[in-house]
Amino acid sequence: MRCDVLTIFPDIIKAYLDESILRRAQEKGLLDVKVYNLRDFTSDRHRKVDDYPFGGGAGMVLKPEPLFNAVEALKGDGEERRVVLLSPQGRVFTQAIAKEFSQSGQRFIFICGRYEGIDERVRLALVDDEISIGDYIITGGELAALVVIDAATRLIPGALGDERSAEEESFTSQLLEYPHYTRPREFRGMKVPDVLLSGNHREIWLWRRREALRRTLIKRPDLLERMELSELDRRILSELREELL
Ligand code: 9D3
C-alpha cells in the first residue's frame, strides 16, 4: 500500500510508523508512507495553515490553499490517488473497508483534519472518500489515519511476522479471542487449563474455538448474527446456550 499523509503534526504519524509491524512492512517494501507537513505548502511569511471562520464562531478552520497546493503537488507525478479525508462526518471505518483499502491497489492521500474543521471547498473539490473511526470525538485526524493505515497494512500478505498468524487472524477475526496463557502453569493459585498442556492439538483447537464462541456469545452477540457459521460452530453454540441458561 502506498500512501501520503498530509498533517500539521507529522511527528505523531512518523513516531507510530517507526515501530513494530508498520516499520517492518515498510522495510519489506509492502508499505510506503510519506508524511508531509501542511506548513511546507503555505506561501505566506508566517506559514499559516488555519484562519478564523467566516460568519464567526469558536475555533479555527484549516485554510484551503495549503491542502490544494499539497494535493496538486503530489498528483503532479501523474499517478492516480484516492484522496481520503479523516473526519467525524465520514463513513464509519470497518474491517471490510480496511480490506477494500488494502486490496484496491490504489495510491492514497490521507488528509488529517484538525480544529473545528476544514474549509468546505477542500471537501468539494479534492476529497474522494471521507472516513470516521467511530462515534466519539478525538482531537484530529492523525490517530484516525494511523488506525486506517495500521488495519489495512495487517491485511497485506507478508506484513505480519509469520504467515500462520494472518491465516489464523482471518479465520478468527469475526470472533473475540480465546483466552491466552503463558508460564507459569500456576500463578497465585490460578491454574492454566489442563487441555492447553495436553499436547493434543485437535483438543486444543476445539477448546479455543469453543471459548472464542463463548466470549462472543456473552460479550458481542451482534457479531455472531452477521457471521457465517460452520456446522461445528452452530453445534458448539447451541451447547453453550444451554450451559448459559
Ligand atoms: C468540537 C467540534 N465538533 C463539533 C461537532 C466537530 C469536530 C471537528 C473536528 C469534532 C472533532 C474534530 C477532530 N476529529 C477528527 O478530525 C476526526 C475524528 C473524530 O473526532 N472521531 C472519529 N473519527 C475521526 S476521523 C477525524
The burial class, CB within 10 Å (0-12 / 13-18 / 19+), for 48 is middle
Sequence-distant (6+) residues with CB within 8 A of 33 are: 2, 3, 4, 5, 13, 17, 22, 26, 149
What is the arithmetic mean of pLDDT over 78-107? 97
Work out whether the CA dihedral 96, 98, 102, 108 comes out positive or negative.
Answer: positive
What does residue 35 show for φ and ψ, rounded to 5 degrees? -110, 130
Domain residues of the chain, as ranges? 2-162, 173-244
Give, using CA atoms, the residue closest to atom 8 of ligand 1. Answer: 116
Give me 46's grid cell: 508566517
Q: Is 86 helix (H, G, I), strand (E, B) or coil?
A: strand
Kindly report the pTM of this predicted structure. Answer: 0.94
pLDDT at residue 244, as a whole number: 82
Options 3.30.70.100, 3.30.200.20, 3.40.1280.10, 3.40.50.300; which CATH number does 2-162 get?
Answer: 3.40.1280.10
- Residue 102 CA, ligand 1 centroid: distance in Å: 24
Ligand 1 and 138: CB distance under 6 A: yes
pLDDT at residue 173, as a whole number: 72
Indicate the average pLDDT of the chain: 95
pLDDT, one tens digit per residue, over 185-207 is 999 999 999 999 999 999 999 99
Options 1.10.10.10, 1.10.357.10, 1.10.1270.20, 3.40.50.720; which CATH number does 173-244 get?
Answer: 1.10.1270.20
Q: Contact 93/132 with Cβ under 8 angstroms?
A: yes
Give, using CA atoms, the residue closest to atom 14 of ligand 1. Answer: 140
What is the arithmetic mean of pLDDT over 42-51? 97
Ligand 1 and 7: CB distance under 6 A: no
Say yes or no to pLDDT of 107 above 90: yes
